[in-house]
Amino acid sequence: MNDVTATGATRLTRLMQRGADFLGTEYAIMAGAMSWVSERNLVAAISNAGGFGVIACGAMTPDLLDREIAATKALTAKPFGVNLITMHPALSELIDVCANHRVGHVVLAGGLPPTGSIDRIKGSGARLVCFAPALALAKKLIRSGVDALVIEGMEAGGHIGPVSTSVLAQEMLPTIADQVPVFVAGGIGRGEAIAGYLEMGAAGVQLGTRFVCATESIAHANFKKAFLRASARDAIASVQLDPRLPVIPVRALRNASTELFTAKQREVAAHLDEGRVAMAEAQLQIEHYWAGALRRAVIDGDVENGSVMAGQSVGMVTREEPAADILADLLDQAAEALSRRAV
Ligand SMILES: Cc1cc2nc3c(=O)[nH]c(=O)nc-3n(C[C@H](O)[C@H](O)[C@H](O)COP(=O)(O)O)c2cc1C
């Protein structure tokens, strides 16, 4: 390593220090929870490589989560987190499972935490990380006692908000980065971007898409192949066609099911117009369209009829490789970028 590269690596370590201290890791890089993908194998591989793996609880029952945490602990002695969805009907029991296992970090996704959940999670001794979709909500969450925030732009895979990562980072980091550690997510495919967000005040970053094709990821070979073939423009956000039928936008690779979703919305809207279906039933039909679709793609490998959730960074996923190598590449690119800034 020459002097300039060493300077870049030192700067990177310094910029990541706060986030790494918060996570208890070597690097302030979180692998965002991905339902069906982020299970024991990928989570342990990320954490063993010095990053921070997060188990996706998704629709797991408390029993299943209990087993998944135990199995992950058997594969790594390093810190990892658990992602819980606020709408889960058994949220309270899931919090208990995390507390029993003394999970160090709970990441709450899916909207504002319900009353009491913040205190219960923090009362268990865990650090609480929440998603903040806008500055006002970030301030509210900080006042409520959350320990860290993720700000995630619409470039990300999965459920998304309407604003890009670069705008969220500019709007929010100057105001909140000194109050709690903030992790930037959405569209990060290379280390240069990590360096940029760290320099803007982020404590660290969170990536999802980039880790799907890790060797240790149990995603079906078809799912990984779809990622390797896709470019940024294939990762499209679902579009709501009718103001009466709400659609929570999800970014996924364009396939037969995304085309059919458009047709389904038209059909249900027509049924509404004709009075053949009541509003509540119509809305349920739209909501249920994607039920089980991610599992169908990730586990069964049906990448045409399932939901291949992917972010716009999918074009930068070019091969299947160990999680440790993905992390090493990102870190090298970040250090190199910082070393160029140092001269
Ligand atoms: C296949 C897939 C499934 C995901 N599932 C979840 C989830 O269950 N819970 C969650 O909070 N975020 C979920 N996400 C979002 C990731 O945790 C992460 O924040 C996001 O992927 C970061 O953006 P990127 O994809 O541009 O790297 C998912 C993302 C993908 C690609």
CA of 99 to the centre of ligand 1 (A): 24
pLDDT tens for each residue of 238-296: 999 999 999 999 999 999 999 999 999 999 999 999 999 999 999 999 988 988 999 99
Q: Does 312 have pLDDT greater than 80? A: yes
Please, what is the average pLDDT of the chain?
Answer: 96
CB neighbour list of residue 131: distance below 8 Å, 6 or more residues apart: 108, 109, 149, 150, 151, 152
pLDDT tens for each residue of 69-122: 999 999 999 999 999 999 999 999 999 999 999 999 999 999 889 989 999 999
**Ranges in the chain annotated CATH 3.20.20.70:** 3-218+318-342
Ligand 1: nearest atom to the Cα of 57: 8
CA of 219 to the centre of ligand 1 (A): 14
CA of 156 to the centre of ligand 1 (A): 7
Q: Which of 64-68, 110-114, 260-264, 305-309 has the lowest mean pLDDT?
A: 110-114
CA of 145 to the centre of ligand 1 (A): 24
pLDDT score of 97: 98
- Ligand 1 site residues (CB inside 6 A) read 32-35, 37, 56, 58, 83, 109, 152, 155-158, 185-188, 206-210, 309-311, 313
- Tell me what the mean pLDDT of segment 225-250 comes to: 96
CA of 50 to the centre of ligand 1 (A): 20
CA-nearest residue for atom 21, ligand 1, is: 208
Tokens 């990984």 identify what position?
224
Q: Does 1 have pLDDT greater than 90? A: no
CA-nearest residue for atom 16, ligand 1, is: 32
Tell me how far the alpha carbon of residue 160 is from its chain's centroid.
Answer: 10
pLDDT score of 296: 96
Residue 99, both tokens: 């507390």
Tokens 């935490």 identify what position?
113
CA of 342 to the centre of ligand 1 (A): 33
Ligand 1: nearest atom to the Cα of 32: 17
Q: Does 214 have pLDDT greater than 90? A: yes
CA of 152 to the centre of ligand 1 (A): 10
The answer to whether the CB of 225 falls within 8 A of the CB of 304 is no
For domain 3-218+318-342, which architecture applies?
A: Alpha-Beta Barrel (3.20)
Among 325, 314, 329, smallest CA distance to 224 is for: 314
Q: Does 343 have pLDDT greater than 70? A: no
Tokens 């995603």 identify what position?
219
The proportion of the chain whose per-residue pLDDT surpasses 90, expressed as a percent, equals 93
The whole-model pTM stands at 0.96
CA-nearest residue for atom 3, ligand 1, is: 34
- Tell me what the mean pLDDT of segment 126-145 comes to: 96
Beta partners for residue 83, in sequence order: 56, 107
- Tell me what the mean pLDDT of segment 165-186 comes to: 98
